[in-house]
Structure 1
Amino acid sequence: MSRHDLTHPLEDGMPVYPGDPDVAVSPAATMATEGYRVTELALSTHAGTHVDAPSHLLADGATLGDYPIETFAMDAHLVGVDAGPRDPIGPDALPDERSADVVVFRTGFDAHWGTPQYRDHPYLAPETADALAERGQHVALDAASPDPSPPAGGTEDADGPETDANGEQAGYPAHRALFEAGLLVFENLRNLDALPTRFRLEVFPLRLDADGAPVRAVGVVD
């Protein structure tokens, strides 16, 4: 059995989704002054590699506390995405086999982490998200979102990015389709190239009854 760390490190000043609070990692106590170390960590529930719960966008959506702990140890099906920047991922990308708890999309955009290009990731077409919602499968990906992210220098409104890659209103349709089905979204994974098509995904969040939380994502291969 092997384990592969799929998690971006939490670091001071690391990339965050546009509009989210910055991540700050700073000493609260040091060996020089207090004789011990304590580190202060400031971040949002959607910093780094993390999980989105339905309450992230739905007023009456489930929070992380509504999911039993076994939810976060999943049978995963990895899908390699052949899509360019800001291309939609159509339902033909979905595997025929539906037994997995989560479909993991490998876009390769983790290679652009920390650069403006990271925002130009492919995203799930609405019909793809609808199909996953119907199947009851969670979603994970090595990109910032299953919906289009605002481009560098772009803006967004309360319903999501002002426009998608085609200049149309976005409004997070993939998130909403999945959330309305009670499903979870895991964002900003990395190192998916190291995994086979089928593996075990362990993505345990902080014990926080909220709209999301950072996770330690691990791929387990028998």
Structure 2
Amino acid sequence: MDPVDLTHRVESGMPVYPGDPAVSLEPHATMDADGYRVTRLSLGTHAGTHVDAPAHTEPDGATLDEFAVEEFRFDATFVDLAGLDAREPITPEMLPEGVDDVEAGTGVDGAADGLDTDLLVIRTGWGEYWGDQRYLDHPYLTPAAARRIAAAGCSVGLDTLNPDPTPTDRAGTDEPDGVPAHRELLGSGNLVFENLRLSTGLPEQFVVRAYPLRVDADGAPVRAVAASE
């Protein structure tokens, strides 16, 4: 397969998690005034297509700088769940065979038997609402589903703002409080990639390279690319 860019462009006013710093790009130096261009970029560590490090939610979790560069290359499995309703929970039964029934401590290093992947890329279809208020009402991982993914030794990538429900005035009373899916995944030392651009044309298996800015922080924007090798 030809390389596929899974990354949203960084631009002023792009969607961010409610309460996070807004993204802005402003000229600092211009060709007319200075003979060269420099742009002032202001954003949070979780802007756009980005990775969450364990330090995002875990008091003693690793920061990005504690991961070797090769740990941002993944053998990925594509899970197409497009067609889910707003704020619909993703349960363990919706996960691929080998993850839907794995229990912590089974297989090799807790991984599901026969599961040849270290990143689940989950398409909910909610990426089509990028830039719309509906994007905040995306489907989410139940704590049980996140626990199964973590037990299988997998990181996760989503075309949503959050693996947990994003708070809005449309939240249901039965939705989990806090960030339990984050804590299951990041607490197990895995990574979470959010706001991926996912299309229907991706194969079931591919390689993802998603390299963050080299910053000792809780997260950072990435350039995420899917390819055959």
Normalising by structure 2, we get a TM-score of 0.89
Q: Find the counterpart in structure 2 of residue 122 from structure 1.
A: 139
Seen in structure 2, the aligned counterparts of structure 1 residues 58 and 164 have a Cα distance that, compared at 3 Å, is farther
Supply the AA of the counterpart residue of 1:113: W
Report the CA distance between 1:133 and its aligned residue: 1.1
Supply the AA of the counterpart residue of 2:53: A
Check conservation: 1:206, 1:215, Cα contact below 8 A: yes
Check conservation: 2:165, 2:175, Cα contact below 8 A: no
Matched residues in 2 for 1:216 and 1:179: separation? 20
Q: Find the counterpart in structure 1 of residue 225 from structure 2.
A: 218
User: Alignment identity in percent?
Assistant: 51
Q: Find the counterpart in structure 2 of residue 190 from structure 1.
A: 197
Give 3-state SS (helix, strand or coil) of 2:161's partner.
Answer: coil
Check conservation: 2:84, 2:125, Cα contact below 8 A: no
Matched residues in 2 for 1:219 and 1:168: separation? 32
Give 3-state SS (helix, strand or coil) of 1:218's partner.
Answer: strand
Matches within 5 A, 1:25-174: 25-81=25-81, 82-97=83-98, 98-151=115-168, 154=169, 165-174=172-181
Report the CA distance between 1:193 and its aligned residue: 1.9
Report the CA distance between 1:191 and its aligned residue: 3.0
Structure 2: segments with no counterpart, 5+ residues: 99-114
Matched residues in 2 for 1:199 and 1:150: separation? 33
Matched residues in 1 for 2:196 and 2:183: separation? 20
Supply the AA of the counterpart residue of 2:145: T
Root-mean-square deviation over aligned CA pairs: 1.4
Supply the AA of the counterpart residue of 1:91: P
Matched residues in 1 for 2:18 and 2:214: separation? 25
Matched residues in 1 for 2:174 and 2:187: separation? 25
Check conservation: 1:206, 1:213, Cα contact below 8 A: yes
Q: Deviations over 1:184-206 (max 9, x none)?
A: 00000013323111111111101
Check conservation: 2:46, 2:219, Cα contact below 8 A: yes
Normalising by structure 1, we get a TM-score of 0.91
Structure 1: segments with no counterpart, 5+ residues: 155-162
Seen in structure 2, the aligned counterparts of structure 1 residues 171 and 111 have a Cα distance that, compared at 3 Å, is same
Q: Deviations over 1:1-34 (max 9, x none)?
A: 4100110000011111100000010100001111
Report the CA distance between 1:66 and its aligned residue: 1.1
Matched residues in 2 for 1:180 and 1:146: separation? 14
Q: How many pairs align?
A: 212
Matched residues in 1 for 2:175 and 2:118: separation? 31
Check conservation: 2:143, 2:180, Cα contact below 8 A: yes
Give 3-state SS (helix, strand or coil) of 1:105's partner.
Answer: strand
Report the CA distance between 1:221 and its aligned residue: 2.9
Give 3-state SS (helix, strand or coil) of 1:136's partner.
Answer: coil
Report the CA distance between 1:169 and its aligned residue: 4.7
Q: Find the counterpart in structure 1 of residue 24 from structure 2.
A: 24
Check conservation: 2:80, 2:123, Cα contact below 8 A: yes
